[in-house]
Structure 1
Amino acid sequence: MPPRARARARMYDPAKTRAAVTAQLAHVRDAVRELGDERLGARLSAAVRLEDPAPSARELTVTEWATAAPAEPETEPDPGEPLERAAARFAELIATAPGDRLVAARGGAMRLDDFLVTRCVELIVHTDDLATATGVSIPYDRHALATASRVLADALAAKAPGGSVEVRVPPFAVVQCVEGPRHTRGTPPNVIETAPLPWIRLATGRLPWPEAVESAQVTASGERADLSPHLPVLT
């Protein structure tokens, strides 16, 4: 049997990605202002890296970044730097930096356009963490939320390749994964469906699979519809 063809990498619109990162960062900045904590920094490692020489490390795809083993912590700005100033510096740098400019990332290097896709994931995850920890309501930019959902769904499909289970994250993502009998037509025998935020919490280890099923944040039908052996996706 010939080897299975490698799935084509998902494409992300660079202009929409930059707008989404900027918008979600603004939501976080506004929330921090409301909390009155001027010392709270942001995960703006791209801003720091754009001021450094381009790295010579192996170039990663978005999915390779998401499925990479945990590496050294990503460089963060001085925690004493006000978020307002850090956000302004970040926005200024990405406004003019070329999309093919290499920046350092965990496990290697990435094109800036791809790296900003990963910043959508980071910003959505940490927005959710901040909202949970403080009780402050923080908006989610729709494109950033969609991007995070798709990156993590594609990472699941790469981590647990196969076609026996269909995972649906409406309205943003559908992937097939997990080894076993491959579904070809009609209603799949093994279906998992959840909303974007529960999916992101599952994929990043913030929501345990049994709790998600018990609380009906996930619906799972079929004998193979169990993602617990494959979670979390992003560590």
Structure 2
Amino acid sequence: MFISSQSSAPCFKDFTLVMPAVAVGNVGQLAVDLLVSTLNMSRVGYMHTDCLIPMAGNNPYGGCKEGAEELHTPAEVYTSAELKLAVLQIRAPIIRSKSKSFRQLLLSWIKSSGFARTAVLSSSHAYQRDDQQLQGAPLRFLMTPSLLRGSGEALKELGWTEMERSPAYPGLSDSEAEPRLSIPGGGITKGLYTDSCAEDVPLAVLLLFCSEGDNIPDAFTLINRLNDWLHLLDNPDAGNIKWKIPTSWSLLFGSGIPPALF
């Protein structure tokens, strides 16, 4: 359930929603961090649910003074009214037994809010790619039929590669079983996409094959691909886009090795 942090509930009608899937390497979450930090987006509320592991912390996008008195939660919503853009950042793992409930909560909120389209930033295990997925760039997309009808031409111009379906029984070329969609390590990505197809929700998945480790370069790759489509930071005179790294990334790998050890 969405809880507004303002005196009046924000209107998301015809906004674009961007959200991550909690997946391998946390690439989607890191990419969303870059988007919120660079656009200096305003927090307008949070999702109240028992489907996420509870946690709390200081402001991940401000300095020590800015975040000292602010409490932030596992799933928060940020907006940029000028761009008609909303972002749902998810910072905690989804409780496995409540994955379906969380997907239903998200779709219910997306439909009731009137979002024009939703972009899910996700990732999948690079080592589990099949032969055809080893070709070309490690980026893939999925789009529900309702969104594809309006964005098909734009995708052709971008030259994106759609996520391939894998054989139900690899190695059996004469199998009559339909190829299936498989996103290992993708968390709720597959379920959210199939649910959106069934409920006619305009939703796209932007996905990157990756491995666990330092996934900051993967986050930049993914957010640049999103910007190619949505043109959030387009400025022909600016050259390369300069994404703003949030202060919380300074602790991404801990606080360093204590000198006293040596």
Question: Comparing both structures, which one devotes a greater share of its residues to helix?
Answer: 1
Query: RCO (CA 8 Å, sep 6+): is it higher in 1 or 2?
Result: 2
Normalising by structure 2, report the TM-score.
0.26
Normalising by structure 1, report the TM-score.
0.28
Question: Comparing both structures, which one devotes a greater share of its residues to strand?
Answer: 2
